């Protein structure tokens, strides 16, 4: 004689199938943002750390396209002064038709600072890794725009190339708060970066 399956078991199974069948688009309104990440101070060695300023140029960092990027420039400029005083190497990137001259004056590049030009991952198709290794860099401080463009993908690329990452949350800007939040969450929790990343702020970085 076949055993009867309780109705509640069938109902539970049907509910589970229904939930599993729903796409993230259908469940979009149910998504709740996770708690903010805990930030920590970071100590870096100037001789082994590279300060990456990604796409901080006229075409990308302006009041019309990314006003939040414009707001981050003073903090990046202040840290740049500290970095240069400590002889920390500085590296830049451009997109499209950008050049050394289109980088915003407050964070202007010097003649000796390497600049690469690429899409979202500044390691792809460029000499960035070679530039970093030539200076014996072990850790990169990533500042840039867009949050889910250059910052997200270059930080991920840095982890894949074996670098430690310091991510100051006050210099990773996007065109929306959601973009910044999603990029930050992905970098802190992503399997490719979670073990080598420190989320912090620029003024919480100590240079030795």
Q: Contact, 104 vs 56, CB < 8 A?
A: yes
Q: Contact, 109 vs 128, CB < 8 A?
A: no
Q: Please report the sign of the dihedral spanned by the C-alpha atoms of residue 97, residue 149, residue 89, residue 62.
A: positive
Residue 97's pLDDT is 86
Confidence of residue 168 (pLDDT cuts 50, 70, 90): very high
What tokens were used for 19? 């939930």
User: Which residue is it, tokens 């960035």?
Assistant: 128
Q: Contact, 122 vs 149, CB < 8 A?
A: no
| pLDDT tens, residue by residue, 18-35 | 556 899 999 999 999 999
Single pTM value for the model: 0.90
Residue 7 pLDDT > 80, yes or no?
no
Question: Domain ranges in the chain?
Answer: 32-207
Cis-peptide into 146, omega within 30 deg: yes
Residue 44's pLDDT is 98
Burial class (CB in 10 A: 0-12, 13-18, 19+), 20: exposed
| pLDDT tens, residue by residue, 60-106 | 999 999 999 999 999 999 999 999 999 999 999 999 889 999 999 99
Per CATH, is 32-207 categorized as 3.40.50.850?
A: yes
**Cα(43)–Cα(29) distance, integer angstroms:** 40
For residue 128, which of 165, 157, 166, 171 has the smallest C-alpha distance?
157
Pairing, β 49-54 against β 115-117: unpaired
Residue 14's pLDDT is 53
């Amino acid at each position: 004689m076949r055993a009867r399956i309780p109705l509640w078991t069938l109902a539970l199974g049907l509910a589970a199938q229904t939930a599993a069948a729903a796409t993230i688009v259908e469940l979009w309104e149910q998504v709740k943002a996770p708690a903010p990440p805990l930030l920590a101070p970071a100590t870096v060695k100037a001789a082994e750390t590279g300060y990456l300023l990604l796409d901080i140029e006229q075409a990308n960092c302006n009041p019309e396209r990314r006003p939040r990027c414009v707001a981050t420039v003073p903090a990046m400029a202040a840290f740049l002064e500290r970095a240069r005083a400590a002889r920390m190497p500085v590296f830049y990137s451009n997109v499209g038709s950008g050049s050394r001259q289109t980088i915003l004056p407050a964070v202007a590049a010097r003649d000796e600072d390497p600049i690469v030009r690429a899409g979202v991952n500044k390691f792809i198709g460029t000499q960035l890794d070679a530039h970093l290794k030539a200076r014996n860099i072990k850790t990169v401080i990533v500042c840039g725009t867009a949050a889910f463009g250059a910052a997200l993908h270059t930080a991920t690329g840095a982890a894949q190339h074996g670098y430690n990452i310091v991510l100051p949350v006050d210099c990773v800007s996007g065109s929306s708060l959601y973009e910044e939040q999603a990029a930050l969450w992905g970098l802190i929790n992503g399997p490719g970066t979670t073990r080598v990343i420190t989320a912090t702020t620029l003024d919480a970085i100590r240079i030795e």
